[in-house]
Protein backbone atom coordinates (compact mmCIF):
# COMPACT_ATOMS: atom_id res chain seq x y z
CA UNK A 1 0.00 0.00 0.00
CA UNK A 2 1.21 3.51 -0.79
CA UNK A 3 0.79 5.56 2.38
CA UNK A 4 0.88 9.31 1.79
CA UNK A 5 1.96 11.10 4.95
CA UNK A 6 1.76 14.85 5.46
CA UNK A 7 3.95 16.31 8.21
CA UNK A 8 6.28 19.10 9.07
CA UNK A 9 9.62 19.94 7.54
CA UNK A 10 10.44 21.21 11.04
CA UNK A 11 10.96 18.82 13.92
CA UNK A 12 9.11 20.85 16.54
CA UNK A 13 9.86 20.81 20.24
CA UNK A 14 8.08 17.63 21.38
CA UNK A 15 10.47 14.62 21.39
CA UNK A 16 7.51 12.24 21.66
CA UNK A 17 6.34 13.39 18.22
CA UNK A 18 9.65 12.38 16.68
CA UNK A 19 9.29 8.98 18.33
CA UNK A 20 5.76 8.60 16.90
CA UNK A 21 6.99 9.55 13.41
CA UNK A 22 9.81 6.98 13.70
CA UNK A 23 7.29 4.36 14.80
CA UNK A 24 5.01 5.00 11.83
CA UNK A 25 7.96 4.91 9.42
CA UNK A 26 9.21 1.64 10.92
CA UNK A 27 5.75 0.06 10.49
CA UNK A 28 5.54 1.23 6.86
CA UNK A 29 8.98 -0.21 6.13
CA UNK A 30 8.63 -3.51 8.00
CA UNK A 31 5.30 -4.26 6.35
CA UNK A 32 6.46 -3.70 2.79
CA UNK A 33 4.45 -0.54 2.22
CA UNK A 34 5.65 2.51 0.31
CA UNK A 35 5.90 5.92 1.90
CA UNK A 36 4.81 8.87 -0.22
CA UNK A 37 5.75 12.20 1.35
CA UNK A 38 7.07 15.69 0.65
CA UNK A 39 10.63 14.65 -0.21
CA UNK A 40 12.65 16.64 2.33
CA UNK A 41 15.55 15.29 4.36
CA UNK A 42 15.01 17.80 7.17
CA UNK A 43 12.64 17.86 10.14
CA UNK A 44 9.97 15.26 10.71
CA UNK A 45 9.90 14.52 6.97
CA UNK A 46 13.48 13.29 7.07
CA UNK A 47 12.87 11.31 10.25
CA UNK A 48 9.93 9.52 8.61
CA UNK A 49 11.74 8.69 5.37
CA UNK A 50 14.87 7.45 7.15
CA UNK A 51 12.84 5.29 9.51
CA UNK A 52 10.86 3.79 6.64
CA UNK A 53 13.95 2.93 4.61
CA UNK A 54 15.95 1.70 7.63
CA UNK A 55 13.18 -0.85 8.13
CA UNK A 56 13.25 -2.15 4.56
CA UNK A 57 10.62 0.09 3.00
CA UNK A 58 10.59 2.34 -0.01
CA UNK A 59 10.17 6.10 0.17
CA UNK A 60 8.94 8.26 -2.68
CA UNK A 61 9.48 11.98 -2.22
CA UNK A 62 7.46 14.51 -4.18
CA UNK A 63 9.08 17.91 -4.08
CA UNK A 64 8.60 21.10 -6.08
CA UNK A 65 11.56 22.38 -8.09
CA UNK A 66 12.07 25.46 -5.91
CA UNK A 67 12.77 23.24 -2.89
CA UNK A 68 15.25 21.19 -4.92
CA UNK A 69 16.94 24.42 -6.07
CA UNK A 70 17.42 25.23 -2.36
CA UNK A 71 18.79 21.70 -1.80
CA UNK A 72 16.10 20.63 0.64
CA UNK A 73 15.49 17.26 -1.04
CA UNK A 74 16.54 13.91 0.38
CA UNK A 75 18.90 12.39 -2.17
CA UNK A 76 18.84 8.93 -0.55
CA UNK A 77 15.21 8.17 -1.43
CA UNK A 78 13.96 5.25 -3.46
CA UNK A 79 12.50 7.81 -5.86
CA UNK A 80 12.34 11.61 -5.96
CA UNK A 81 9.69 13.17 -8.17
CA UNK A 82 10.28 16.85 -8.90
CA UNK A 83 7.19 18.90 -9.72
CA UNK A 84 6.81 22.37 -11.19
CA UNK A 85 5.05 23.78 -8.12
CA UNK A 86 3.11 23.00 -4.95
CA UNK A 87 -0.18 22.40 -6.78
CA UNK A 88 1.41 19.75 -8.98
CA UNK A 89 3.08 18.26 -5.91
CA UNK A 90 -0.24 17.90 -4.07
CA UNK A 91 -1.89 16.32 -7.12
CA UNK A 92 0.96 13.82 -7.53
CA UNK A 93 0.90 12.84 -3.85
CA UNK A 94 -2.84 12.23 -4.08
CA UNK A 95 -2.44 10.26 -7.31
CA UNK A 96 0.19 8.00 -5.71
CA UNK A 97 -1.59 7.53 -2.37
CA UNK A 98 -3.86 4.72 -1.29
CA UNK A 99 -4.19 5.97 2.29
CA UNK A 100 -3.56 9.43 3.74
CA UNK A 101 -2.21 10.37 7.16
CA UNK A 102 -1.69 13.84 8.63
CA UNK A 103 0.85 13.97 11.41
CA UNK A 104 1.24 17.28 13.24
CA UNK A 105 2.74 19.93 11.00
CA UNK A 106 2.43 23.52 9.88
CA UNK A 107 0.20 25.35 7.44
CA UNK A 108 1.37 23.22 4.51
CA UNK A 109 0.29 20.05 6.30
CA UNK A 110 -3.06 21.63 7.10
CA UNK A 111 -3.57 22.68 3.48
CA UNK A 112 -2.70 19.23 2.17
CA UNK A 113 -4.91 17.26 4.54
CA UNK A 114 -7.75 19.74 4.01
CA UNK A 115 -7.79 18.82 0.33
CA UNK A 116 -7.93 15.13 1.24
CA UNK A 117 -10.77 15.76 3.72
CA UNK A 118 -12.70 17.62 1.04
CA UNK A 119 -12.19 14.91 -1.59
CA UNK A 120 -13.21 12.19 0.89
CA UNK A 121 -16.29 14.19 2.00
CA UNK A 122 -17.37 14.70 -1.61
CA UNK A 123 -16.85 11.05 -2.50
CA UNK A 124 -14.08 11.91 -4.98
CA UNK A 125 -11.53 9.85 -3.07
CA UNK A 126 -12.19 6.46 -1.52
CA UNK A 127 -9.25 6.13 0.83
CA UNK A 128 -8.60 6.43 4.54
CA UNK A 129 -8.08 10.01 5.74
CA UNK A 130 -6.40 9.70 9.14
CA UNK A 131 -5.55 12.67 11.31
CA UNK A 132 -3.06 11.87 14.06
CA UNK A 133 -4.18 13.87 17.08
CA UNK A 134 -0.85 13.58 18.91
CA UNK A 135 -1.28 15.07 22.40
CA UNK A 136 -4.43 16.90 21.26
CA UNK A 137 -2.68 18.66 18.37
CA UNK A 138 -5.75 18.50 16.14
CA UNK A 139 -8.43 19.04 18.83
CA UNK A 140 -9.26 22.42 17.27
CA UNK A 141 -9.76 20.85 13.85
CA UNK A 142 -12.03 18.22 15.34
CA UNK A 143 -14.09 20.95 17.03
CA UNK A 144 -14.29 22.86 13.75
CA UNK A 145 -15.58 19.78 11.89
CA UNK A 146 -18.16 19.25 14.67
CA UNK A 147 -19.20 22.90 14.38
CA UNK A 148 -19.69 22.42 10.63
CA UNK A 149 -22.14 19.60 11.29
CA UNK A 150 -23.81 21.36 14.24
CA UNK A 151 -24.56 24.39 12.05
CA UNK A 152 -25.81 22.26 9.16
CA UNK A 153 -22.94 23.20 6.84
CA UNK A 154 -21.72 19.61 6.70
CA UNK A 155 -22.96 16.28 7.99
CA UNK A 156 -21.67 13.29 9.91
CA UNK A 157 -22.30 11.21 6.79
CA UNK A 158 -20.08 13.45 4.67
CA UNK A 159 -17.35 13.39 7.32
CA UNK A 160 -17.47 9.66 8.03
CA UNK A 161 -14.27 9.03 6.06
CA UNK A 162 -12.29 11.47 8.20
CA UNK A 163 -10.87 9.62 11.19
CA UNK A 164 -8.93 10.97 14.15
CA UNK A 165 -6.34 8.63 15.69
CA UNK A 166 -4.97 9.21 19.17
CA UNK A 167 -1.94 6.93 18.77
CA UNK A 168 0.30 5.46 16.10
CA UNK A 169 -1.21 2.11 17.07
CA UNK A 170 -4.64 3.40 16.02
CA UNK A 171 -3.22 4.63 12.71
CA UNK A 172 -1.73 1.21 12.07
CA UNK A 173 -4.98 -0.52 13.02
CA UNK A 174 -6.93 1.61 10.54
CA UNK A 175 -4.36 0.99 7.78
CA UNK A 176 -4.30 -2.77 8.43
CA UNK A 177 -8.09 -2.89 8.27
CA UNK A 178 -7.98 -0.95 4.99
CA UNK A 179 -5.59 -3.31 3.25
CA UNK A 180 -7.86 -6.23 4.06
Q: What is the pLDDT of residue 49?
A: 96
Percent helix, strand and coil across the chain, each rounded to 5? 50, 20, 30
Largest CA distance in the chain: 48
Query: Domain 2-178 classified CATH 3.40.640.10?
Result: no
Q: What is the pLDDT of residue 107?
A: 94
pLDDT < 70 stretches in the chain: 68-73, 180
**Average pLDDT value for the chain:** 93
Q: What is the pLDDT of residue 74?
A: 75
Q: What is the pLDDT of residue 180?
A: 57
Q: What's the whole-model pTM score?
A: 0.94
Map residue 155 onto helix, strand or coil. Answer: coil
Q: What is the pLDDT of residue 92?
A: 97
Distance (Å, rounded) from C-alpha 15 to C-alpha 135? Answer: 12
Q: What is the pLDDT of residue 72?
A: 64
Domain boundaries, the chain: 2-178
Amino acid sequence: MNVTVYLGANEGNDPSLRKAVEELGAWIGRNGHVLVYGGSEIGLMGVLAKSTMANGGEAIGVEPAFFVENELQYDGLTQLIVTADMSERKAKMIELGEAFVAMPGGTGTLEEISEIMSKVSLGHLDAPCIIYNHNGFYDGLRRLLDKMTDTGLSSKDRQKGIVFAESVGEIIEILETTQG
